[in-house]
Amino acid sequence: MQKKVSQGMVDEWIEHVSAFTQLGKVADYIPALEKQDRENIAIGVYHLDGECVGAGKVENTFTIQSISKVLALALALMDQGEDYVFARVGKEPSGDPFHSIAKLETTNPSKPLNPMINAGALAVTNMIEGTTPDEKVGRLLAFVHELANDHSIQYDQEIANSEYETAYLNRSLAFFMKQHHVIEGSIEELLDTYTKQCAIEVNIKQLARIGAVFANEGKDIESGRQIIPRQLARICKTFMVTCGMYDASGSFAIRVGIPAKSGVSGAVMGSVKDFGGIAVFGPALDEKGNSVVGMQLLEMLSSRLELSIF
Ligand code: DON
């Protein structure tokens, strides 16, 4: 029997976690993110039969931040193929914080350990086809439009600018990788593309629908069209399991046990085979950079419906 989340369940879970919105810290290293309201919490679930439930601030929009790393990876893999991409980015968890530069120097030959840490994500974005940042971002947005089945999705210019102006660490990672021939071309254009990619703005149901396409082996959940080749969707979900929650991926696998990717905005996208796409949002983060309320919501959902893949 197909597992289903009811409206009553999501209402109950949001009610429960609303007592915890004061825990954790809203990200402030991207100045524009600091303005996010910690009370803005939401959950959305998109079942593979197209039925969708949501609770909390379902109309609120937020930026996807690091969740974009999964989408950029899928697009770069479709553009360049597995061999090209994985000659430049590794497949192993780093065990380090997402913005760490440490292993770039100690790994030989120097290449980022995986596409979910910032170094790896910058290298992946560099591989997206297109001659200008606008063209690359345009292709990424067109891809997101297909995944969400919604052509209105854009990026938030203020948040993109705010990150672009303060992305000193990401610039350092990019310069280091350019020296080692992992990336090529203009660093400023790469940062322009990457910060716009991270600032793509969605609501909770749009994000859940994107997760559902990955859950559905890359096929659109309504039309059945193969948007992402099955093997590439599988690679993306595997990275979500091994590296999606950064250096908390191991404990998350035990606590929740679903392929998921978090972002510093406080959003998390999950994809569960034969079930659907999940999105949770809560701007206050724990010390690893994952949403406090989002983790609680995913834990309740996973245990109540027995969704752990392990
Ligand atoms: O590159 C950055 O630092 C942000 N645009 C994204 C980082 C992020 O979302 C990490 N998430 N936990």
| pLDDT tens-digit map of 158-201 | 999 999 999 999 999 999 999 999 999 999 999 999 999 999 99
In a 10 Å sphere around its CB, with 0-12 CB exposed, 13-18 middle and 19+ buried, how is residue 139 labelled?
A: middle
266 lines ligand 1 (CB under 6 A): no
Portions of the chain given CATH number 1.10.1500.10 = 66-198
pLDDT score of 220 = 98
Q: What is the ipTM of this complex?
A: 0.97
CATH topology of domain 66-198: Probable Glutaminase Ybgj; Chain: A, domain 2 (1.10.1500)
> Which residue has the least CA distance to atom 1 on ligand 1?
118
Q: Tell me, yes or no, if 168 is annotated catalytic.
A: no
Give the chain's mean pLDDT: 96
The closest of 249, 264, 284 to 167, measured between CA atoms, is 264
Q: 240 pLDDT exceeds 90?
A: yes
**For ligand 1, is residue 257 a contact (CB within 6 Å)?**
no
Asked if the bond preceding 97 is cis, omega within 30° of 0, the reply is: no
The residues of the chain that CATH labels 3.40.710.10 are: 7-65+201-305
Residue 139: what pLDDT? Answer: 98
Q: Are 59 and 203 in contact (CB under 8 A)?
A: yes
pLDDT at residue number 173: 96
294 touches ligand 1 (CB under 6 Å):
no
CA of 195 to the centre of ligand 1 (A): 9
125: Cβ below 6 Å to ligand 1?
no
* 58 against 1, higher pLDDT: 58
Domain 7-65+201-305, architecture per CATH: 3-Layer(aba) Sandwich (3.40)
pLDDT value at 211 more than 70: yes
266 Ramachandran zone, left/alpha/beta (phi>0; psi -120 to 50): left
Mean pLDDT of 208-214: 98
Q: Tens of pLDDT along 88-143?
A: 999 999 888 888 888 888 887 889 999 999 999 999 999 999 999 999 999 999 99
Q: Which atom of ligand 1 is nearest to the CA of 163?
A: 5
DSSP 99: T
* pLDDT band per the 50, 70, 90 thresholds, residue 1: low
- Give the model's pLDDT for residue 66: 97
**The pLDDT of residue 124:** 98
Task: Confirm or reject: Cβ of 192 under 6 Å from ligand 1.
Answer: no
Q: Over pLDDT 70: what percentage of the chain?
A: 100
Give catalytic status of residue 246 as yes or no.
yes
Beta bridge partners of 201: 63
Annotated active-site residue in 5, 17, 45, 69: 69
d(CA 280, CA 56): 10
Determine which residue's CA is closest to atom 7 belonging to ligand 1: 66
